[in-house]
C-alpha cells in the first residue's frame, strides 16, 4: 500500500505500518522477506503487487510462514491505471471487509480486494 495511505489509516486509529517505517525492513526488502516478517509479527500484508502470486516461491512461502495477504488489484480499468486516489478510496471502502476477513479466516490465506470493496479468498 502507498506509504501515505498507511500513514492516514494509522492516524485514523487503524493498526497499520508501512514497510519503510519498520527498521528491519526497507525499500530494498525482497517480497519473501516482507512476507516472513509480517507473519512472524502477526501482521497481515496488504499489497498491490499482484504479480508476486505468479512467482514460483509465493504459495510455498505463504504456507510456510502461515501468512495472511490481501491484494488490491490495480491493473488497468477502462484503459487506465488506478491513481493513488482510486487506491485510497477502494482501501477505505473495503477496510471493514479486510478486518473481518483477517479475523474470521484461518491462516494462511491470500485474498483479493475487489473493485466493489468486497474481499474474497484467492
Q: Which residues pair with 119 in a beta bridge?
A: 113
Angstrom distance (rounded) from CA 91 to CA 98: 9
pLDDT score at 73? 79
Angstrom distance (rounded) from CA 59 to CA 8: 30
Q: Which residues pair with 70 in a beta bridge?
A: 46, 111
Any idea what the Cα angle at residue 90 is, between residues 23 and 99, rounded to 5°? 65
Q: How many domains does the chain have?
A: 1
Domain of residue 74 covers 3-121
Note the pLDDT tens digit of each residue in 46-91.
998 888 999 999 999 999 999 999 999 776 656 677 888 999 999 9
Note the pLDDT tens digit of each residue in 2-49.
889 999 999 999 989 999 899 999 888 999 999 999 999 999 999 988
Q: Tell me the pTM.
A: 0.88
SS3 46: strand
pLDDT score at 2? 83
Amino acid at each position: 500500500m502507498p506509504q501515505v495511505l498507511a500513514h492516514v489509516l494509522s492516524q485514523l486509529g487503524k493498526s497499520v505500518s508501512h514497510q519503510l517505517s519498520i527498521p528491519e525492513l526497507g525499500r530494498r526488502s525482497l517480497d519473501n522477506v516482507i512476507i516472513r516478517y509480517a507473519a512472524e509479527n502477526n501482521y497481515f500484508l496488504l499489497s498491490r503487487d499482484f504479480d508476486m502470486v505468479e512467482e514460483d516461491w509465493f504459495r510455498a512461502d505463504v504456507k510456510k510462514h502461515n501468512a495472511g495477504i490481501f491484494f488490491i488489484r490495480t491493473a488497468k480499468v477502462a484503459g487506465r491505471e488506478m491513481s493513488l486516489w482510486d487506491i485510497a478510496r477502494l482501501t477505505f471502502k473495503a477496510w471493514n471487509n479486510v478486518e473481518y476477513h483477517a479475523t474470521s479466516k484461518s491462516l494462511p490465506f491470500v485474498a483479493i480486494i475487489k473493485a466493489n470493496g468486497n474481499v474474497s479468498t484467492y
